[in-house]
Structure 1
Amino acid sequence: MEDTIIQVRNLSKDYGHGRGIFDINLNIEKGKVYGYVGTNGSGKTTTIRNMMGFIKPDRGNVTIQGLDSWKDATEIKKSVSYVPGEIAFPSLATGTDFLKLQADYLGIHDLTYMNHIISMLQLDPTANLKRMSKGMKQKTAITAALMGDKDLLILDEPTTGLDPLMRDSFIELIREEKEKGRTIFMSSHIFEEIEHICDQVAMIKDGRIVDTIDLWSLRHWKTKIFDIRFKGLDDYKKFLAKFHQIKDTDEDELLCQVEMPVSEIEQLFYVLKKFSVASIKEEHITLEQYFRKVYEKGRG
């Protein structure tokens, strides 16, 4: 357990009427990017607020680098950079004033990295702090967090309000942080960004963890799905008669979909040599598709 940075054990915070989080267990290792996904109201922010020591759990606990998140909250915050889900700035005129105040608080004298983040996010820090759009406020909060150069980042829906291009820039920044060996815990309801940058992902639903997955496993799934389009109806029908691992068909398009274990793919291509094939396309299961199946299974 020496590589464990964040350990969540049987964490519960019950707000009544089924709201809250219940028996949450998570283990975040050093240098990993850990995703936390779920719909709005599923319990992501409550979990993170417990991590940060903002609220006291009813049961269980969180330890960060061996320190209790509730009892040692002040000490923990010295080594954590945090982007909250709800951003509230102090009464200052501009984003520049806020970032300078943050730099002074953190003891940062070299602003090179801060300026790099500002450039990546296309942030205009001279804008009036109170009149900033949601996206501008989010960029300012991200800059304030990342400029601290801390080993642990806890980010609650950090890309809310960002347009797709700025999300891409944010993902690039997180990749840079990962290359530095940072440990990152990030909640989101946007599956695509989580899939692009995370090593592991947990899904929370109605306050409970319903599944976790290693992204390497998702990218190297034990089964493969192929869309195969044939040049003629005769070949199409003969293939269907010969091959039995058919998942779906479309006779009008001369298209069939097969799903099979990776170990049997060679046999598929051996059979296909006997037919006139127009195209073959491999379908990759996405994180969203995977967790949608988990959600649907939970309803059954």
Structure 2
Amino acid sequence: MNIIEVKQLTVDYGDDRGIFDLTFHLKKGEVLGFLGPNGAGKTTTIRHLMGFSRPDKGSCHILGKDPMKEARSVQKHIGYLPGEPAFMNNMDGLEFIQFISEMKGIKNSNRSKELCAYFELNPNLKIKKMSKGMKQKIGLICAFMQESDLLILDEPTSGLDPLMQKKFIKLIQEEKKKGTTILMSSHLLEEIERTCDRVVIIKKGKLVAIENIKILKENQNKIFVLTFFNHETAEKFMIEPFELKVMNQTQINVTIQGDINPLIKVLANYSLANMELKAQTLENSFMHFYGEDSNV
């Protein structure tokens, strides 16, 4: 059984706003990235999964249950971080964490203390005096302290500095080893690349792609920058059957998809001054789905 099942989910706000016939699933122990430009419908989808809204058409289920009709039963299994967490500003951080713990029936505070230390958070400050990053840490602690088998995280590193973003990635990787099932929307492509098994990409409320991260990496183009000792050798290499781009008289870029061994075998016949592999990320693989929407 899939942990999350979304089938033809539709919410039409008019003017092409909302989500339309959205279908995807999430298997047990899988980490699924949820990507799309601002306004694509990611938060709307997550709110329906949490049972906060009723769709115009279609359905979503968590553990086989309707999240609206069986909200209490569903939500007790979920560690949830909303995109814009609501806090009680008259409380300090510790009071708020304890308040959420009581709501969720968490009697042992050891995990929340561990998470406060991990994210280097002093929870004794009044929430109204906290920065956005500190508030985000409280949201993360409340989501993770339950030690749920399912996490639903909407923009989890919003407001965090680069050091804390890296700590968050490590935390997700640890949860993944435990077998935790995770749905995570994010604007940070490195975050998705380093943690997720698959990605669901939506644009203007519609599904545009479901991609396997491992396969994307394997099929990713590799660009080798070859520098020859002289123009004659470079010119000779230009007849080889590869995708080539001449950069100058002695430098040629070779683009390879998949197996690089054919290139390595050919290069054994040439003397090179230098060979460099350009650092590649999955950004280009993702970004072509967005088209004119560059604001991810």
Amino acid in the other structure paired with 2:255: E
* TM superposition shift of 1:174: 1.1
Amino acid in the other structure paired with 2:167: S
Determine if the alignment matches structure 1 residue 72 to structure 2 residue 70: yes
Paired with 2:293 and 2:216, the residues of 1 have a C-alpha distance of: 20
What TM-score, normalized by structure 1, do the two folds share?
Answer: 0.92
Q: Are the aligned partners of 2:9 and 2:60 in contact in 1 as well (CA < 8 Å)?
A: yes
* Equivalent residue in structure 2 for 1:255, among 251, 256, 261: 251
Question: Which has the larger displacement, 111-120 or 4-13?
Answer: 111-120
The residue number in structure 1 matching 2:102 is 104
Amino acid in the other structure paired with 1:273: A
The residue number in structure 1 matching 2:266 is 271
* TM superposition shift of 1:93: 2.1
The residue number in structure 1 matching 2:180 is 182
Paired with 1:296 and 1:93, the residues of 2 have a C-alpha distance of: 44
Q: Aligned residue pairs: how many? A: 294
* TM superposition shift of 1:91: 5.0
CA gap of 1:32–1:235, structure 2 versus 1, over 3 A, is: same
Matches within 5 A, 1:1-300: 2=1, 4-90=2-88, 92-221=90-219, 224-240=222-238, 242-251=239-248, 254-263=250-259, 265-283=260-278, 285-296=280-291
Paired with 1:57 and 1:255, the residues of 2 have a C-alpha distance of: 57
* TM superposition shift of 1:259: 2.5
Amino acid in the other structure paired with 1:54: F
Calculate percent identity across the aligned residue pairs.
41
* TM superposition shift of 1:236: 1.3
For 2:128, what is the secondary structure of its paired residue?
Answer: coil
* TM superposition shift of 1:147: 0.2
5+ residue gaps in structure 2?
none
Q: Are the aligned partners of 1:117 and 1:173 in contact in 2 as well (CA < 8 Å)?
A: no
What TM-score, normalized by structure 2, do the two folds share?
Answer: 0.93
Paired with 2:118 and 2:138, the residues of 1 have a C-alpha distance of: 12
* TM superposition shift of 1:125: 0.5
Paired with 2:187 and 2:277, the residues of 1 have a C-alpha distance of: 26
For 1:116, what is the secondary structure of its paired residue?
Answer: helix
Paired with 1:93 and 1:66, the residues of 2 have a C-alpha distance of: 37
Amino acid in the other structure paired with 1:295: Y
Paired with 1:183 and 1:85, the residues of 2 have a C-alpha distance of: 19
5+ residue gaps in structure 1?
none
